[in-house]
Amino acid sequence: RDFADISIFDASGRKVIQIKEVELDAGENVIRMNWRPQNGVYFVRVSTSSQKSFTKFLVLR
């Protein structure tokens, strides 16, 4: 197990969500949020004590 900070940014680079110290197990995890994003491109950054990951995703409704 490790703790992670998760941030989501919109296409202009503005931080729209920040979740600190989420406890994660190794492998795949699901995190539920009460967030209703607009259509568009977003980026998610996940940072742990040993790794950082940055991924782009698209929201279409």
Q: What is the DSSP letter of 19?
A: E
According to the model, what pLDDT value does residue 26 have? 86
Domain holding 17, by residue range, is: 2-59
Give the count of domains, the chain. 1
Residue 10 has pLDDT above 90, yes or no: yes
pTM assigned to the model? 0.84
Amino acid at 27: G
According to the model, what pLDDT value does residue 44 have? 97
CA distance 19 to 8: 9
According to the model, what pLDDT value does residue 1 have? 84
According to the model, what pLDDT value does residue 40 have? 98
**Tens digit of each residue's pLDDT (9 = 90 or more) over 14-61:** 999 999 999 988 889 998 889 999 999 999 999 999 999 999 999 998
